[in-house]
Amino acid sequence: MNKDKALEELFLAQKPQFDDSEAFMESLNKRLDAVEYIKQHQEATIRRYKMALVAAFVVGIISGGITIVYMLSTPVRVPLFTFQVETGWLSWLANNSRLLTTTALSLLVTFGLISIVGNIQDIRRMRGEVGFRIN
């Protein structure tokens, strides 16, 4: 496509000139300083999240392992825990100790998994914000 001469001359004759380039660059540098600060803050938060993630994983593995080993090492017919006082409610707890412990452990594992998935999603989201897309 050929250029329209009259339009081209009009555009070129009116090419804008800027006499405030230094002020513009100074303002840009200030914005970039602010962006760097936020970026560093977000990266520090991501590092903290990662540490929390590793800590939760290690604690979960150790406590889960100990509980499972303890459960497997005790005879099936023997309750996992007993109480000194014999009342109806406490007896029921002691008789169902194995089932209750398994349920509590399962809930703990589920909660741990949900937390880990949540943390991973947060880290991804923050990385996306730090990485910024062009459009």
Partner 1 sequence: MTREGFIELVEQEQEALRGFLLYLCCGNKEEADDIAQDALVKAYLSSAGYQEKGRFRSWLFKIAHNTFLNHKASCRTTESIDEARTLISNTAADASFEHQDLYLALRTLPPKERSAITLFYLNGYNIKEIAAITEASEDAVKKQLSRGRDQLKEKLKL
# residues contacting partner 1 (CB under 8 A):
32
- Dist CA 135 CA 128 (whole Å): 13
The smaller minimum CB distance to partner 1, of residues 23 and 109, is found at: 23
- Dist CA 118 CA 112 (whole Å): 10
Amino acid 15 reads K
Judged by CB under 8 A, the chain residues 10 through 69 that form the site for partner 1 are 10-18, 21, 24-25, 27-29, 31-32, 35-36, 39
Inter-helix orientation angle 88-95/97-131, to 10°: 70
Read off the tokens for 90. 């406490």
CB of 97 to partner 1, least distance (A): 56
Residues of this chain that bind partner 1 (CB under 8 A): 1, 3-4, 6-8, 10-18, 21, 24-25, 27-29, 31-32, 35-36, 39, 130-135
